């Protein structure tokens, strides 16, 4: 079958009311679920799955994909408005999105998040359609040693999100690494730091940690210091993002999308690291570097491009290899199998109509996301105008409910509050929370892949430099670390010179 | 006379209420805990059977995923629940035979649960990469014996079915001490374990045939053996009957339903009837068989025996090989 025939076959499947309806409903459900803190995109997809059992295969799959796309974008709405990432993937959006909302630019931040998301989504879908084969065979070159070096490089992000003090950032990261060790040891299966409590056997719930670290400290801060919030409402975020701003951020959006496509096509990393990597790269390259973390629109654009860039690309290992890249695609594979479809190379021969139907559906979903997203932003941005005395208790209720719903476990709510106090102490001590979160996500990956490599090689460290991919990541890690150290030394010198100059002026 | 009538009425009323109290289980929705994440084998199996089961129960079933620690988190929550039949568990081979056999510190044992039925059996298959050059288990085992420490197998984690299955298959085919001579590479989840064989991180994998079906169809993996006596559709590999090794048939996956230990007999019996009704639903059977499962319903007594026998076999193997996790 030629390319045109394939597209026509796909079109025959998709060009009907049900498919469009499924996509539109999916995106809407995803946006609503993603905007509720604790209700992650993963949960929304899992809850939608049973509804697809009775639908035609393509309709069911498009419904799930719609939920996935909508959810990943909408996670940015609460991240910007109430400093609570709706899904783990939008944690990086908090860094600049929330300060923008504080400045009364919530509408602008949300608009940029939407445009960056849709652009990245489109690029990611295009990459899936055009380069699925190449990217999938590249991804298969990633064994534990390659993974280890990639994660090691990703840990350098910490420097980019540490704020003023690298030392405090590293402290925060070490704390995150420590908390990530709770649970079962991967290789020996023994308990670590669980204090004989079965609830800790599975480790600390990621969403509980995430919400505890970001949302709860804000609430505690207000309880501690209610006067600061009295009568203070943030002005209506009426300003919309301009084309000039989009153009200025375009480079970061493209870069973020490509990072997302690259990380998304490798099974097992997920959207959150991609968003952080995109954010820290944008900061490193930007002229407005100083403004990052204080409400820089480019930061919002970069992190949203980073996480949505993953959304289409995670389907690459799924379709080309039959391998789920993350939890969401694992659920989508379940949906394929229920309909008797077996993802993998053969599907491109046996079910070419469904494959191309999906491709077309994905492109339509990017457009639908733009519409549904604009409407939802118009509805949600008024959240910024709710007085804090009303908003924060409501956020608190949502957080408790959301964290409970992840695993239906009250223990997780306890974890959330414990992490909330830790986050509050960190907030007061000016220790940034983002490095903690990155270390918490990447730490276990780093450890697992290191130990798997050691098992493979019989404990010879040379396996960690076994091929060009590992050499590449070792090199860029080295360059980045040198750059960070040099910048640190230079900053230190400048500060000393300034102090000396100030002292001399005073003496003179 | 009047008193007599009154007394009789009361007695009748009491006996009616009493019998109604029994007949009325369930009078409210039943929470069904799935101890694994959405999209996994247990989750899909549980959600598929929940449809015909809801018709049989005539009361809503609330499906709850409680994930973590290889099924332990969800299992513990049912272990500690009231044995009133309103909190039940989808038990799985990993959480209820492999894990208890391997982990000394597991917070529950088989005795903490009462099984009301096993409804699904999954054949186990072992597979290698097509380019690996191995065409049979014998060739693979010969390599393990000739060059100890070069052959590896992947699993979805310590204490998973895959972990035990790899060791058990090597031993059955003549490797003296598979723990020492083959390398076990644990990964996070079944998908990652299969990927490890695809990209050459591990040499072979032994897992439920349904988890391998798409890779076998796509010729990305080559099956070497199937543990059931009957062949598995799409798997061009010898069965335990072909090899004359009936002992392999004990290595199968299964899904069943369990309640806490003190579950009353009548509730267990009721569940037996519900499962019989649910598993006779044709749509359910065809859906499950399309995914490579074998629908085989065991009544509460048979389930208990089946699970205990499998546990004993695994326990013996674990003790022989020194695979028990103490810490």
Q: Are B119 and B300 spatial neighbours (Cβ–Cβ below 8 Å)?
A: no
Q: Return the beta strands (E) in A312-446 as ranges.
A: none
**CATH 3.40.190.10 segments of chain B:** 123-250
Which among B188, B217, B327 is the nearest to A448, CB-wise?
Answer: B188
For residue B25, the model assigns a pLDDT of: 84
For residue B18, the model assigns a pLDDT of: 45
* Cα separations in angstroms, A388 against A231, B137, B213, B228: 8, 67, 54, 63
For residue B17, the model assigns a pLDDT of: 46
pLDDT classification of B7: cutoffs 50, 70, 90? low
Nearest to B174 by CA among B144, B133, B129: B144
Q: Where do runs of H (alpha helix) occur along A164-242?
A: 166-180, 206-224
pLDDT tens by residue, A149-186: 999 998 888 877 787 788 899 999 999 999 999 988 88
Give me the residue spans of the domains in chain A. Answer: 3-466, 467-508
A42 or B98, which is more confident = B98
Residue A445 phi, psi dihedral angles, 5° rounding: -65, -45
Residue A292: partners with Cβ closer than 8 Å, 6 or more residues away: A95, A96, A282, A283, A286, A298, A299
Token couple for A86: 């709706």
Count CA within 13 A, CB hemisphere, residue A331.
25
CA dist., res. B92 & res. B37, Å (int)? 13
**B280 CA to chain A: closest CA distance, Å?**
19
Q: Looking at beta carbons, which pairs linking A153-157 to residues 24 or more positions away fall under 8 Å? A: A153/A473, A153/A476, A153/A477, A153/A480, A154/A273, A154/A276, A154/A277, A154/A438, A154/A442, A155/A438, A155/A439, A155/A442, A155/A446, A156/A280, A156/A477, A156/A480, A156/A481, A156/A484, A157/A273, A157/A276, A157/A277, A157/A279, A157/A280, A157/A438
For residue B64, the model assigns a pLDDT of: 87
Q: List the 190-219 stretch of A: residues with Cβ below 8 A of B.
A: 190-191, 198-199, 201-203
B150 → chain A, closest CA residue: A456
CA dist., res. B43 & res. B59, Å (int)? 20
Q: Are B207 and B162 spatial neighbours (Cβ–Cβ below 8 Å)?
A: yes
Residue with tokens 């796509």: B218
Q: Which residues of A touch B214 (CB under 8 A)?
A: 322, 337, 342-344
**Cβ within 8 Å, pair A408-B105:** no
Token couple for B301: 């007594």
Nearest to A94 by CA among A85, A86, A107: A85
**Cβ within 8 Å, pair A324-B191:** yes
Q: Are A135 and A313 spatial neighbours (Cβ–Cβ below 8 Å)?
A: yes
DSSP secondary structure string for all residues of B167-200: HHHHHHTT-S-HHHHSEEEE-SSHHHHHHHHHTT
Residue B17: burial class (beta carbons within 10 Å; 0-12, 13-18, 19+): exposed
CB burial readout B174-187, b (16+ within 10 A) else e: ebeebbebbbbbbb
* pLDDT, average across residues B77-89: 92
Average pLDDT, rounded, for chain B: 87
For residue A81, the model assigns a pLDDT of: 87
CA dist., res. B46 & res. A409, Å (int)? 20
What is the C-alpha R_g of chain B? 22
CATH fold of B123-250, please? D-Maltodextrin-Binding Protein; domain 2 (3.40.190)
Nearest to A142 by CA among A506, A480, A472: A472
For residue A227, the model assigns a pLDDT of: 64
Nearest to A234 by CA among A99, A324, A362: A99
Reported ipTM: 0.83
Q: Angle A31-A33-A37 (CA atoms, 0-180°, nearest 5)?
A: 115
CA dist., res. A82 & res. A402, Å (int)? 14
Nearest to A105 by CA among A231, A228, A236: A236
Q: What share of residues in chain A are helix, strand, coil (percent, to 5)? A: 80, 0, 20
Q: Determine how β-strand B30-34 pairs with β-strand B61-65.
A: parallel
DSSP secondary structure string for all residues of A141-176: T--HHHHHHHHHHHTTHHHHTSTT-HHHHHHHHHHH
Residue with tokens 């105008």: A385
Best mutation target, B87, B108, B191, to test chain A (most A CBs within 10 A): B191
CA dist., res. B213 & res. B157, Å (int)? 21
Give the three-class secondary structure for A215. Answer: helix
For residue A119, the model assigns a pLDDT of: 95
**Cβ within 8 Å, pair A330-B192:** no
CA dist., res. B119 & res. A434, Å (int)? 47
Q: Angle B276-B279-B282 (CA atoms, 0-180°, nearest 5)?
A: 130
Residue A448 forms contact with B (CB below 8 Å): yes
B323 → chain A, closest CA residue: A188
Q: Are A113 and A275 spatial neighbours (Cβ–Cβ below 8 Å)?
A: no
CATH of domain B31-122+252-321: 3.40.190.150
For residue A237, the model assigns a pLDDT of: 57
Give the three-class secondary structure for B296. Answer: strand
Residue A469 forms contact with B (CB below 8 Å): no
Q: Which residues of A touch B39 (CB under 8 A)?
A: 46, 49, 324, 327, 330-334
In a structure prediction context, what are the per-residue pLDDT tens digits for chain A, which is 508 residues long?
A: 577 887 888 888 888 888 999 999 999 999 998 888 767 788 888 888 878 878 888 999 999 999 999 999 999 998 998 888 888 888 899 999 999 988 888 888 999 999 999 999 999 999 998 888 888 888 888 899 998 999 999 888 887 778 778 889 999 999 999 999 998 888 888 888 988 888 888 889 888 898 899 889 988 888 887 765 554 556 555 567 888 889 999 999 999 999 999 999 888 788 889 999 999 889 888 888 888 888 899 999 999 999 999 988 989 888 888 888 777 888 888 788 777 787 877 788 778 888 889 999 999 999 999 999 999 988 887 777 777 778 888 888 888 988 888 778 889 999 999 999 999 999 999 999 989 998 998 888 899 999 999 999 988 999 999 989 999 999 999 998 998 888 878 877 888 888 888 877 776 5
For residue B16, the model assigns a pLDDT of: 45
Which among B51, B184, B218 is the nearest to A342, CB-wise?
Answer: B218
Token couple for A18: 């049900």
The secondary structure of residue A431, as a DSSP letter, is: -
**Cβ within 8 Å, pair A338-B199:** no
Q: Which residues of A touch B62 (CB under 8 A)?
A: none
């Amino acid at each position: 079958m030629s390319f045109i025939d394939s597209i026509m076959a796909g079109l025959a499947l998709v060009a009907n009311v049900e498919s469009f309806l499924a996509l539109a409903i999916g995106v809407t459900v995803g946006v609503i679920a993603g905007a509720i803190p604790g209700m992650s995109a993963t949960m929304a997809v899992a809850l939608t799955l049973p509804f697809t059992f009775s639908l035609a295969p393509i309709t069911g799959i498009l419904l799930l994909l719609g939920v996935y796309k909508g959810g990943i974008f909408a996670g940015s709405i609460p991240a910007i408005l109430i400093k609570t990432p709706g899904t783990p993937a939008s944690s990086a959006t908090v860094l600049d999105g929330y300060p923008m909302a504080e400045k009364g630019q919530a509408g602008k931040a949300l608009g940029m998040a939407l445009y960056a998301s849709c652009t990245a989504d489109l690029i990611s879908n295009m990459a899936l359609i055009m380069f699925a084969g190449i990217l999938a065979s590249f991804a298969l070159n990633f064994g534990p040693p390659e993974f280890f070096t990639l994660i090691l490089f990703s840990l350098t992000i910490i420097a980019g999100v540490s704020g003023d003090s690298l030392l405090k950032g590293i402290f925060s990261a070490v704390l995150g690494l420590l908390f990530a060790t709770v649970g079962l040891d991967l290789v020996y299966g023994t308990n670590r730091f669980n204090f004989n409590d079965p609830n800790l056997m599975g480790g600390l719930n990621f969403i509980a940690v995430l919400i505890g670290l970001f949302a709860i400290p804000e609430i505690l801060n207000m309880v501690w210091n209610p006067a600061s919030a009295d009568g203070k409402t943030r002005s209506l975020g009426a300003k919309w993002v301009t084309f000039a701003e989009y153009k200025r951020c375009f480079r970061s959006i493209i870069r973020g999308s490509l990072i997302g496509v690259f990380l998304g096509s490798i099974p097992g990393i997920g959207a959150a690291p991609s968003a952080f990597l995109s954010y820290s790269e944008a900061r490193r390259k930007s002229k407005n570097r100083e403004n990052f973390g204080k409400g820089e629109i480019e930061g919002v654009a970069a992190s949203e491009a980073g996480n949505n860039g993953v959304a289409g690309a995670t389907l690459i290992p799924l379709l080309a290899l039959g391998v789920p890249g993350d939890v969401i695609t694992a659920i989508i594979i379940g949906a394929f199998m229920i309909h008797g479809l077996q993802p993998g190379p053969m599907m491109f021969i046996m079910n070419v109509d469904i494959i191309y139907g999906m491709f077309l559906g994905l492109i339509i979903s990017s457009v639908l996301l733009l519409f549904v997203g604009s409407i939802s932003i118009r509805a949600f941005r008024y959240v910024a105008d709710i007085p804090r005395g009303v908003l924060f208790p409501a956020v608190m209720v949502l957080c408790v409910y959301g964290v409970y719903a992840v695993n239906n476990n009250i223990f997780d709510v306890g974890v959330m509050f414990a992490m909330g106090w830790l986050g509050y102490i960190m907030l007061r001590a000016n220790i940034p929370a983002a490095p903690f979160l990155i270390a918490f996500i990447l730490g276990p990956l780093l450890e697992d892949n290191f130990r798997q490599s050691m098992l493979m090689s019989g404990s010879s460290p040379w396996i960690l430099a076994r091929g060009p991919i590992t050499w590449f990541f070792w090199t860029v890690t080295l360059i980045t670390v040198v750059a960070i150290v040099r910048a640190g030394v230079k900053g230190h010198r400048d500060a000393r010179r300034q102090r000396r100059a100030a002292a001399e002026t005073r003496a003179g | 006379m009047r008193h007599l009538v009154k007394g009789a009425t009361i007695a009748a009323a009491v006996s009616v209420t009493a019998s109604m109290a029994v007949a009325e289980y369930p009078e409210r929705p039943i929470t069904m805990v799935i101890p694994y994440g959405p999209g996994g084998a247990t989750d899909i199996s549980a959600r598929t059977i929940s449809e015909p089961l809801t018709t049989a129960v005539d009361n809503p079933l609330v499906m709850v995923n409680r994930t973590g620690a290889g099924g332990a988190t969800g299992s513990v929550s049912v272990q500690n629940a009231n044995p009133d039949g309103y909190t039940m568990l989808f038990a799985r081979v990993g959480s209820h035979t492999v894990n208890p056999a391997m982990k000394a510190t597991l917070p529950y044992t088989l005795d903490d649960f009462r099984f009301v039925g096993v409804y699904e059996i999954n054949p186990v298959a072992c597979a290698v990469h097509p380019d690996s050059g191995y065409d049979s288990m014998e060739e693979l085992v010969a390599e393990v014996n000739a060059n100890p420490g070069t052959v590896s197998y992947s699993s979805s984690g310590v204490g998973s079915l895959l972990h035990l299955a790899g060791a058990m298959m090597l031993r059955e085919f003549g490797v003296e001490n598979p723990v020492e001579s083959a390398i076990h590479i644990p990964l996070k989840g079944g998908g990652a374990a299969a990927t490890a064989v695809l990209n050459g991180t591990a040499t072979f994998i032994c897992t439920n045939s349904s988890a391998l079906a798409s890779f076998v169809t796509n010729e990305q993996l080559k099956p070497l053996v199937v543990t059931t006596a009957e062949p598995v559709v799409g798997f061009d590999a010898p069965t335990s009957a072909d090899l004359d090794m009936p002992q392999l048939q004990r290595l199968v996956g299964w899904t069943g339903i369990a309640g806490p230990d003190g579950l009353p007999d009548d509730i267990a019996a009721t569940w037996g009837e519900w499962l019989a009704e649910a598993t006779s639903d044709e749509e359910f059977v065809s859906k499950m068989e399309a995914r490579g499962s074998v629908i085989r319903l065991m009544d509460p007594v048979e389930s208990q025996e089946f699970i205990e026998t499998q546990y004993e076999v695994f326990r013996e193997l674990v003790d022989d090989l020194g695979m028990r996790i103490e810490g």
